[in-house]
Amino acid sequence: MPRLHPDIHWLIDYAAGTLPLSHALCVAAHTEYCSSCQSKVRELSAIGGSLMSTDTGTSNAAEPSASEELNEDESEALNKLWAAIEQAKVAQSDTDATRPVDQANHVNTLQSETTAALPTCVKKLLPDTMEQLNWKKLGRHLSVTQLASGDTQREVALHRIHPGRGVANHDHKGEEVTVVLRGSFSDQKGIYLPGDFLVMQAGHSHQPVASGDMECICLSVLDAPIKFTGPINRLMNPFLKIHPSPAPA
């Protein structure tokens, strides 16, 4: 069970559906490790269900036994709906025909040692094996690969730190959200285990080191580029920028 959880406001925004997609991905990844946040989200979603059924200015006849006649517009909408459901069925049987290929891919994913333990929502963004990703080296022991989350304002990436190795001391110019997916790392403040959810504010500086037994893989979402503070690594700063999902042409 993770030790560091998203703040209640994050969970509320997640349940309400107002979090940016990249942040929602982080919360979703965390909840795959955390049963307590899962049940909180379930409670918080129930608030949405209750608000939708009472506060939207429609009649509040709560009982299905009460007669609810459809007006003309509604009957027409229902007829359209049946037609759309028929169409959806046809489309579904078309996709079913192509499914064996998907399943073959799925098996590959499971066989790949490094991706097997990652959360389902993150795996959706990954190719069959970790090696197929376009890893870029940021220093000797850290590599990074951007993921297409659909968020046009933030960069979503996987970070991979070699076992027992550290990342150069760096500042955060914007907010960074990190979820540990595999292995663990530590910094001046403590040790972070799989599922741990960290929000680092702008101006925060730290020097993470992966634990010695295995490499550490983290999901991270950046608002603005990080900045290395060491004398040599500082030379890399001009080359660091965030890579959000491309905006539409």
Partner 1 sequence: MYQSGVKERLAHDEWAAVMHKIASDQDRKAFAKLFAHFSPKIKSFCMMLRSQHTSPQMADELVQDVMIKVWTKAEYFNSDKASVSTWIFTIARNCRTDYLRKLKRTETPLVADDLWPMAEEEAPFASLEQHRIEKNIHHALTLLPPEQAEALKQIYISGKTHAEVASALGLPLGTVKSRVRLAIAKLRISMSELLAEESEAEPTDATGSSKAAGAELEP
Summarize as ranges the residues that interact with partner 1 (CB under 8 A): 8-9, 12-18, 21, 24-25, 28, 35, 38-39, 42-59, 61-65, 68-70, 74, 77-78, 80-82, 84-85, 88, 92, 120-121, 124-125, 148-152, 245-248
Which DSSP letter does residue 234 get? G
- Per-residue burial over 47-68, b = 16 or more CB atoms within 10 Å of its CB, e = otherwise: eeeeeeeeeeeeeeeeeeeeee
> Which is closer to partner 1, CB of 44 or CB of 193?
44
> Which is closer to partner 1, CB of 56 or CB of 188?
56
Task: Put the strands of the sheet holding 176-182 in their side by side order.
Answer: 136-137, 142-146, 155-161, 216-222, 176-182, 197-200
3-state per-residue secondary structure call for 161-204: ECCCCECCCEEECCCEEEEEEECCEEECCEEECCCCEEEECCCC
> Which is closer to partner 1, CB of 40 or CB of 141?
40
> Which is closer to partner 1, CB of 84 or CB of 235?
84
Q: What is the closest distance, in whole angstroms, from the C-beta atom of residue 46 to partner 1 in the complex?
A: 5
Nearest residue to 172 via CA among 191, 185, 154, 193:
154
Lookup result for tokens 């925060």? 204
Q: What is the closest distance, in whole angstroms, from the C-beta atom of residue 21 to partner 1 in the complex?
A: 7
Q: What is the closest distance, in whole angstroms, from the C-beta atom of residue 94 to partner 1 in the complex?
A: 15
Q: What is the closest distance, in whole angstroms, from the C-beta atom of residue 25 to partner 1 in the complex?
A: 6
Q: What is the closest distance, in whole angstroms, from the C-beta atom of residue 247 to partner 1 in the complex?
A: 7
For residue 249, give Cα distances in angstroms to 71, 98, 150, 246.
43, 31, 14, 8
> Which is closer to partner 1, CB of 146 or CB of 237?
146
> Which is closer to partner 1, CB of 74 or CB of 213?
74
Which DSSP letter does residue 53 get? H
Q: What is the closest distance, in whole angstroms, from the C-beta atom of residue 14 to partner 1 in the complex?
A: 8
